[in-house]
Chain A
Amino acid sequence: MIPFGSKLGEGGTVPLLLKFLLPVIAGGLTASVTMYGVVYSQTKAPATNPASQPILVYGDQS
């Protein structure tokens, strides 16, 4: 396990500022994609009008 910050700026090709920003970018990206997915799925209109579907069926083919 590398101690946090131990190789900061040493020998790597990633610039110092980017090293600080990368975790923020990665975390932000992960959170944003997850939130987008959740909001998208909750606000998406159903493919067919539920009122026109027969009720009390085991399922509907996808």
Chain B
Amino acid sequence: MERPSVRRSAVVLDAWPVLLALVLCLPLLAHGGYPLARDLVFVPRQPWTLASVGLGDGAPRAVPLDAVVSVLTSVVDGGWLARVAIPVILATAGWGTHRLVPGLGTVARLTAGGFAVWNPFVVERLALGQWALLAGYAAVPWLLVAARRYRESGAPGDLGATAAWLGLASLTPTGGALGALAVLSGGAGRSSRTAWLVLVCVALQLPWLVPSVVGAAAATSDPAGVDAFTAGSEGQVGVLTALLGLGGIWDANSVPGTRDSWWSTVTALLVVAALVLARRTLVRVRGRDDTVRLAVLAGVGLLLAFLSSIPGGGDLVRWLVESVPGAGLLRDSQKFLAPLAVLAAVSFAALAHLVDEAARRHGAEVVLAAGLVAVPLPFLLVPDGAASVWPTVRPVTYPAGLDRVAGIVDDGPAGASLATLPWRSYRGFGWGNGLISSDPATRWFDRDVLASDDLRVGPTTIRGESVRGQALGRALRSGPVADALRDQHVTWALVYLDDPDAPDLDLSGLTAAYSDADLALYRVPGATPAATSAGTAARVATGLADGLALVLVAAGSMLAARRRGKAARAPVG
């Protein structure tokens, strides 16, 4: 039977990350509507299409995430899903990180859990709207624990737990890569167990690997994205300092104001100091082997994040991106910093533990003073974290016209495609929250939706991977809209009327099907549906890959739950 103080401490440890996650997501929780800003897009109900499993026209970048969201929004509204999923993912990072250091005191573990939720890496990625990448980050500490247990026990339940957490990480390709690195760094050991871990890692990457090989989109990416998405400097110092301070995202608009000052240098110095000073304590509470494994994982992540910024490294990444299918993942390099954020969190915890031990020699008041600095440390290092994230997570109210357009399009010819105009990938909406966002139409309609997948980053345009999208873009630039759409087998054109370029569109030759103050839908006379982008072989291969991953995660979850149940029932002592 646990003592009440132990139970109370466990509740506080898990409640602190929840509180911080709720603060970061406050506008999303306090307002009605749906999040729509930057890469953060939720719609009321996301239909299941070929694009959901990576067989659309674009690269399988949000696979199997789109399939999972599609299934979930068939039973729960997308707005509610966002309100649950995003805070829970953030809190999961904190819950997992304080469990990496169970041997430390409550103040130290509060520091670990809080720092894992509120740090420059999380704030910058959430400000960019990349909530699903944060699922990969949140899974890292859990994967380290599960993989270590499997390495030591070889029990199927521990392998199952590893598969289940890797399933969460693998909602996106980058998260899957991060998760696989965490599994192998935490679990590699005896050859047969390592082989099982490798098999699980490979199997759970198949849902995006298979469509990227058999799908219609180009398997390689535009190397121009390497320079555009390389890690950036913050404040007056260089990229490495920004990365050591857990920042360095490529996008200036996602950087908190304080990170653009000497504050980012202070954070970097504190992180390095914590890594150095906490080393012995971490070795004592986690063991030398596990500490080294975490350090190696964080070091590899830092190297990947910094690689395109060092002489020769940029050329190497450009070559990989241009030549190796799937290597486009390496373009936005700073996201590989996730394991370093976990290591920094447990290092700050170990440092807090040392300070706490020293303070105890001087009485409870000094312990309280130390706790008043250690526990709110995340706020001190990114005091404007919430101010940076809140504009992104503030939800919008979608115009009613989108549902009316969906009714017309979805009742129209099967196999028809819809293109959104003016032709661009990220848009500003008069009814939005003031930030540009990915086009919600790509997730709204039960039809193939074509939108530009070229990305503008400052003055640079990064070419997208959609072969059909590129062809339509060229046709729209070179001739009348109606001819371009008809030639590319596009049946519908959805025009966002509040786009600054909308008045310049020549829509002659198109038949108006719907119009209101925000949207206009046109039908393209004479357009015939395009041949499907995915043949039977591609569908079967992708279906098998998705099925295998689903079975693996489901079976893993059951095995892990059974093992947890047995452990809970086992007599103490």
Give residues in A with beta carbon < 8 Å to B.
1-14, 19-20, 22-23, 25-27, 29-30, 33-38, 40-42, 44, 47, 54-62
Chain B neighbourhood of A61, CB < 8 A: 228, 232, 250-252, 457-458
Chain B neighbourhood of A25, CB < 8 A: 369
Q: Does B85 contact A (CB under 8 A)?
A: no
- B232 x A41 contact (CB < 8 A): no
B454 to chain A, nearest CB (A): 9
- A12 x B257 contact (CB < 8 A): no
A56 to B455, CA, bound (A): 10
Our pick among A27, A38, A58 for the contact of B457 (Cβ within 8 Å) is A58
Q: Which of A14, A23, A37 has the most chain B CB atoms inside 10 A of its CB?
A: A37
A52 to chain B, nearest CB (A): 12
Residue of A nearest to B367 (CB): A2
Mask: chain B, 346-383; 1 = CB below 8 Å from A; 0 = not? 00000000000000111111111110110010011011
Our pick among A1, A20, A41 for the contact of B365 (Cβ within 8 Å) is A20
Q: Does B525 contact A (CB under 8 A)?
A: no
Chain B neighbourhood of A40, CB < 8 A: 257-258, 261, 384
Our pick among A34, A42, A54 for the contact of B376 (Cβ within 8 Å) is A34
Chain A neighbourhood of B253, CB < 8 A: 59-60
Q: Does B444 contact A (CB under 8 A)?
A: no
- B364 x A59 contact (CB < 8 A): no
Give residues in B with beta carbon < 8 Å to A.
5, 128, 228, 232-234, 248-258, 260-261, 263, 360-370, 372-373, 376, 379-380, 382-384, 387-388, 424-428, 436, 455-459, 500
A62 to B380, CA, bound (A): 22
- B384 x A37 contact (CB < 8 A): yes
Chain A neighbourhood of B249, CB < 8 A: 62
Our pick among A13, A42, A44, A62 for the contact of B233 (Cβ within 8 Å) is A62
Chain B neighbourhood of A35, CB < 8 A: 383
- A58 x B260 contact (CB < 8 A): no
B438 to chain A, nearest CB (A): 9
- A54 x B251 contact (CB < 8 A): no
Chain B neighbourhood of A54, CB < 8 A: 456, 458-459
B361 to chain A, nearest CB (A): 6
Our pick among B228, B361, B372, B425 for the contact of A30 (Cβ within 8 Å) is B372
Chain A neighbourhood of B388, CB < 8 A: 41
Chain B neighbourhood of A26, CB < 8 A: 368-370, 372-373
Are A14 and B258 also in contact (CB < 8 A) when A30-B376, A62-B234 are?
no
- B251 x A12 contact (CB < 8 A): no
- A59 x B252 contact (CB < 8 A): yes
